[in-house]
Amino acid sequence: MKIEQVSMRDYTSLRVGGECVMVRVASTEELLDVLEYIKINNKKIFILGQGTNSFFSNNIKELLVVKIEMKGIEIVPHQTVQDEGEEGVIIKAYAGETWDDVVKYTVERGWWGIENLSWVPGAVGAGPVQNIGAYGVEICDTLVSVEVLNRESNQIEILENKECEFSYRDSIFKKSNPVGDSTESDKYIILSINIKLSKQYKPTLTYAPLNILDKNKTYNVREIRNIIIETRKSKIPDYNLLPNAGSFFKNPLISKDLKESLVAKYTNIPIYKYEDKYKTSAAWLIEHIAKMKGVREGNVGTYEKQPLILVNYEKADAEEMDKFSQKIIDKVYKETGIKLEREVNYVK
């Protein structure tokens, strides 16, 4: 086990974080060795994939970051599935694999199911934690099971889809240790996931810009992926050029009463039915209520093309990022009663 001194500024897409120590693991055996080490040395750890959904305090010298680097994508043998007459296939992807590489792998083979999640940044292991979603699709829609290491028992377990307790941007992996202001690792460390994909034509075209496509025309899965990538690139800056963590806040879920109150006050507010609640747009609230689209304060600001994205213009630290995001939260709450929740994890 090799422990190295690193700056977390170099390991997050927001380029925010101080110095700490890191160990990289590429197998379950290596991970078990690390867990034994932290138990003996009473270390606090943080499980890291590709750092696209976290930013770190400057004061994290006592933290041990465990970077998951288990790689691989493979077809699960003898598990081609037949579901309601629909021919499908199950693939296994390891936690350290880049998520978009998994999407590309499935699209190249003409399989349907996760093409709308193209160009979502991060590693595979982060997908179930956040229940990543985009353009009408969430990872829970296709996920069969998650292979995890239970830190309490040091045993490998398989959690079926229902056991993961998925909801909007939430899962059991968050509930075991809620994301936000935390330096502890989750109870479960994700090792790999199994996803079921369809070999039949099965697009999800409910969200813009896909909802304007000609419903009488048949599209191949590559065309859908290309549209998604072009759309995301037009809204989200490349974090290698302008550091960011994608959507900084969740789209709020609100009650029927609050929905009716907001519609009466703001006639053009976008609100959609979502299960037994209603969902509204955090980006709309930031732009039209907080009036903070394209606003820069010091080293931090909201992206001019998409206010949901907070960017690091210079050498911002965690305190600046936290203060600026809290200002947005406070402004929206004061006017609407909606308290925006961060998607991005603040580790301190």
Residues 6+ apart with CB under 8 A from 222: 107, 108
How far are the Cα atoms of 2, 63, 339 from residue 132, in angstroms, in the given order? 32, 26, 21
Locate 309 and state its tokens: 């994205």
Please say if 15 is a catalytic residue. Answer: no
At residue 98, φ and ψ (nearest 5 deg) are -70, 130
How far are the Cα atoms of 57, 118, 255, 270 from residue 134, in angstroms, in the given order? 29, 9, 22, 17
Locate 244 and state its tokens: 């960011």
Please say if 343 is a catalytic residue. Answer: yes
- Among 169, 185, 198, 342, the active-site one is 169
> DSSP string spanning 118-160?
TT--SBTTHHHHHT-EETTEEGGGTEEEEEEEETTTTEEEEEE
The SS3 call for residue 114 is: coil
- Of 205, 206, 241, 236, residue with least CA distance to 303: 236
Please say if 169 is a catalytic residue. Answer: yes
Locate 213 and state its tokens: 């496509």
Are 258 and 338 contacting, i.e. CB atoms less than 8 angstroms apart?
yes
- Among 171, 247, 325, 342, the active-site one is 247
How does strand 296-297 pair with strand 3-7? unpaired
Exposure letters 273-290 (e unless 16+ CB within 10 A, then b): eeeeebbbbbbbbbbbbb
Residues annotated catalytic, as ranges:
169, 247, 343
